[in-house]
Amino acid sequence: MSTLGPDLVLAPGTPRSDGARLDPEDRPRRLARRLPDAGLELGLSVVAALGITVVLFTILVGSVPPVGTFVVALIVFLVVYGVVSRLRHGPFVMKDRLAAVYVWVGGALALFPLAQIIWTVTAKGAPVVLDHFPKFLVNDSANAGPLTPVWQSGVGHAIVGTVEQVGIATLLTVPIATLSALYLSESDSPLSGFIRTMVNAMMGTPSIIAGLFVYLFWVQPRGVSGYSGFAAAIALGILMLPLMIRTAEEVIRVVPGSLREAGHALGAPNWRVSLRIVLPTVRTGVITALILGVALAVGETAPTLFTAHGSAHYNWNPFQGNQANLPLQIFANIESFSPNFVREGYGAAFVLIFMVLSLFVVARFIGSSTPGRRRVHLRRRRAKEVVVS
């Protein structure tokens, strides 16, 4: 086996300096065993970087600020860790380790704001939801007051409004988004180019524009009676469409052209190839794209502010009258000067974050599943039943 370093091997078929080829058994892989003292080198580099940084700040500044200490310690750690890896294992291991550090640090910095938000909302909102559970999830806010216990009010009416508005928006947008993505991925006509340009432009449109648009053509002509959950669903659907179409289009483009050619060779028209071959092949990716669009719509506030307008009571009819939802409830409560209302806002935010994270978990689960897996399991089960009988 030809190696380039302690951690790396050449790919099969790669020519060596003498012109020979590697054996087929050689695979580009990372060795299962770790380098000796890898953990010790990492730990000592971290300790050395922290020690050098603290000494420098103490001598030069007189204090140890957290942000500055972190930045300087990270730079010192990269230098120390890189030098140690280069001296002990060579340049390839050094580059590999530094690249791994860059990836981990970048991921941690990207996730830190999200983790902080989730932690803050959970710490302040979970006690509100769990107090006299499940009354906060069932009651409405009609009896809410500055001195009223939090558990006597709730977000049940907002949960109903969110489910109805997002559900109607999903029913309106899923067929349009799926068919539009199919058309854009299968056609190169001038019309498809125009539609793709419009979709890209809609993705950069602020969400409040969708609410104002629906307000002008739907709510304002009807006056006060124009506010409804259905109007909010139209605004949310406008926001969901571009994300669903673009994501589904990229997923559909992954389908190999050989599958389409095989369907055409059998005499199937284009529409049948698209609906019976292309879509079933990427159904998990398309479903994931649709769920991501739904997750986007669940947390939107501005479009529903001009369309649903909010309410303190239950409204089971999304086609008539003001209707609340979770984002509007949070917006109304957080702005209040009453501590009770602020606590209710954090409780509603906790419920909203739980719903959004649940949608992302479902999207991740569906996206990681293999097409046809359930069908294979069903066939195996039927085969076992036949054998047993």
Report the CATH number at residue 263.
1.10.3720.10
Answer yes or no: do 81 and 167 share one domain: no
Instruction: For residues 310 and 359, state if they share a domain.
Output: yes
In a domain, 121, yes or no: no
Residue 26 lies in a domain: yes
Phi, psi of 9 (to 5 degrees): -135, 155
Could you tell me the pLDDT band of residue 369, with boundaries at 50, 70 and 90? low
Model-level pTM?
0.74
Q: Which of 109, 125, 159 is the last residue of a domain?
A: 109
Do 42 and 28 fall within a single domain? no
Q: What is the mean pLDDT of residues 347-368?
A: 85
Same domain membership, residue 16 and residue 66: no
Same domain (yes/no): 368, 262? yes
Residue 127 within any structural domain of the chain: no
Residues 232 and 344 in one domain: yes
On whether both 202 and 316 belong to a single domain, the answer is yes
Structural domains in the chain (count): 3
The average pLDDT across 71-98 equals: 91
Clarify whether residues 296 and 206 are in a common domain: yes
Does 173 lie in the same domain as 306?
Answer: yes
Domain boundary residue, one of 109, 139, 169: 109
In this structure, the answer to whether residues 263 and 350 fall within a common structural domain is yes
Burial 119-129 (b: 16+ CB within 10 A, else e): eebbebbeebb
**224 and 363 within one domain:** yes
Q: pLDDT, tens digit, for every residue of 193-243?
A: 898 999 988 888 888 999 999 999 999 988 888 899 999 999 999 999 999
Query: 87: domain range?
Result: 38-109
